[in-house]
Amino acid sequence: DHTISGQLVYTHSMETDYAKEFTVDYYEGGYALITLSDQSRFLCVPDSQKEILVPEDIPEDIVVLRQPVSNIYLAASAVMDMFRSMDAMDCITLSSIEQNAWHIEEARAAMEQGKILYAGKYSAPDYELLKASDCTLTVQSTMLEHVPEVKEQLELLGIHVFEDHSSYEESPLGRMEWIKVYGVLTGHETEAEAAYAVQKAAFERGTASEELHKKVAFFNVTTTGAINIRKPEDYIAKMIRMAGGTYALDGIEVPEGATGTMNIQMEQFYAGAQDADVLIYNSTIAGEIHSVQELLDKSPLFADFKAVKEGEVWCMSADFFQNSMELGTALQEIHEMLLLTGEENIDKSREGEFTFLYRLE
């Protein structure tokens, strides 16, 4: 039943390919109702309807937002790239990430020009600045669940909380399909559809038609010497399989908990990945490395790894995770990299054109 008011007439719902963590229902007159998987609901009222009052019989739990929503406090780093991809960054005026921590050039530039202000991190926002900036909506990541008192305080101030659940999507394409939700919020639905379509096409090009029989490990070394890996059901592990590889740590025992990563001891990693054809170092946490020697400095045991001996050690660039609308591009690169792996007389000039992957010297 799509009835939310006697005055609003339901017409249709958004069709999604992969996303399961949100729905969008449309009503006559350009109204749209977004429902998230945590059951929070947002009614977007078209800007042209300012003179039309919001129906009085709307259920109390529904947050009413006027499109396009502006003065957003963005505290979910993966979402900035979605706004950038649909040319809606002017809707964001406040950020929980400081200027130099952005890998997205447009976000850094906007902060440098004062178009986006730093408003404190998600767990300790600058409430006075949010209030003074007429902020009515904050887009948060699921990290906010660890600080319920912040959510409470934001709502007390009349700032609505929209929690991005794209990280809960089972499919990597489902993650990117969240751009459609932000298209509704900002009145950029056409641009959102177009940006998603580009990456969907890239995904199709990067998806292998057959298993390439290349075993891949994706990891980084923590400051304590533990190995941080992605769980077998994480989207990175899924992308490795989609690109035609097998994930080196598929059989690993996973403790309870929703996050995509976990730490294991070197011995356990050695057992699973010592014979991997390819090692991909995740630079987003501990920083980029550029040579195999830097990896050996972290642990001499890496010298025994097949991929190290064969020169098949790669690094995923530090900007990868913030470029959340480029998963199709990244998948294509993983696929191409796997095609190159172990091939002696193959043209490797394409490597230099990769955006997110580079081979360690």
pLDDT at residue 267, as a whole number = 96
pLDDT at residue 256, as a whole number = 80
Looking only at the bridges linking them, the beta strands covering 72-75 and 92-95 are parallel
| CA 140 – CA 241 distance, rounded (Å) | 30
The 10s digit of each residue's pLDDT in 31-63 is 999 999 999 999 999 986 666 678 889 999 999
pLDDT at residue 199, as a whole number = 96
The 10s digit of each residue's pLDDT in 102-158 is 999 999 999 999 999 999 999 999 999 999 999 999 999 999 999 999 999 999 999
Decide: 86 and 188 in contact? Cβ < 8 Å.
Answer: yes
**Which residues does 199 contact at the CB level (< 8 Å), separation at least 6?**
173, 176, 325, 326, 327, 328, 329
> Nearest 5°: CA angle at 103, between 100 and 109?
65
> Nearest 5°: CA angle at 121, between 115 and 127?
75
pLDDT at residue 28, as a whole number = 94
Low-confidence ranges of the chain (pLDDT < 50): none
pLDDT at residue 50, as a whole number = 65
The number of CA neighbours under 13 Å toward the Cβ of 249 is 28
> Nearest 5°: CA angle at 317, between 288 and 85?
145
Q: In what order do the strands lie in the sheet with 137-140?
A: 117-118, 92-95, 72-75, 137-140, 160-163
pLDDT at residue 342, as a whole number = 80
pLDDT at residue 346, as a whole number = 65
